Amino acid sequence: MSALEIHQFEAFDDNYGYLIHDAEANVTASIDTPDTPKILAALEHTGWALTHILCTHHHFDHTGGNEELKAKFGCEVIGPRAEAAKIPALTRSLGEGDILEFGTRKARIFDVPGHTLGHIAYWFEEDKAAFVGDALFALGCGRVFEGTPPQMWASLQKLAALPPATNVYCAHEYTLGNAKFAVTVEPENDELMARAKEIELLRARGERTVPSTIEMELATNPFLRAGEPSLQRALGMEGAVLADIFTEVRKRKDNF
């Protein structure tokens, strides 16, 4: 059985597009549809024919190409059940606990509300890959637009519980800005300081910081670390309710 192939590319100013491909079954999905011309170029580059679109949430930079790509390829358009009415050209909706069969590969669906109320993530367990949209970012998390911070915290806990070696494919290159904020929240986290330096070097060379891994995020992402005594001390919130600590971190980032 062949492994899932993943082709990552830049889209718009700071989005990432992903094509995923199972060679054995000859199926190809676009994770979300930012920037249609970039997706078409990626299909041309890989020589893969689009059979699926897997949307994480309804925002335009994740669904804006659905209509055009569906018209062109007649592909399935899959998205979150809880916001099905907002996903253009949807053909199938999924939610928590569903298993998506993608050729010979399988993805488990998580509901990760907060950024939007219906946001979902796709976890390909055997391929050690999670496509998390705007829920979790490298060193950050999505702005809480539609849900509440405690709801976002609960969503992030689901992703934090994935195996440490899982690669985290998020939808934006926001890592440098996230790093600048993260070091203000937990300046005594050596691993974070080292990662922030590395990110600065990578971005200065125009290189990607995505994907990261769950292991890296657990060690350095302040939005996953509400339970860590070091972060609680830094915030002066020792022993506070974890969702409250997360809420405080999110509030600081919103005002950063």
Determine if 172 is a binding residue for Zn ion (CB under 5 A).
no
Site for Fe ion in 124-143 (CB under 5 A): 134
Residue 200 beta carbon to Zn ion: minimum distance, rounded to whole angstroms:
25
DSSP state of 172: B
User: CB count, 10 Å around CB of 16?
Assistant: 21
User: CB count, 10 Å around CB of 7?
Assistant: 16
Residue 111 beta carbon to Zn ion: minimum distance, rounded to whole angstroms:
15
Residue 237 beta carbon to Zn ion: minimum distance, rounded to whole angstroms:
28
Residue 35 or 134: the one with the smaller Cβ distance to Zn ion is: 134
The packing angle between helices 242-254 and 175-185, to 10°, is 120
- Judged by CB under 5 A, which stretch of 40-48, 55-63, 214-222, 238-246 contacts Zn ion? 55-63
Residues carrying an active site annotation: 57, 59, 61-62, 115, 134, 172
Binding mask 14-53 for Zn ion (x = CB under 5 A): ----------------------------------------
- Judged by CB under 5 A, which stretch of 20-28, 58-66, 96-104, 230-238 contacts Zn ion? 58-66
Partners of 77 in beta bridges: 53
The widest CA-to-CA distance across the chain, in whole angstroms, is 55
Whether 170 contacts 159, CB under 8 Å = no
Contacting positions for Zn ion (CB under 5 A): 59, 134
Contacting positions for Fe ion (CB under 5 A): 61, 134
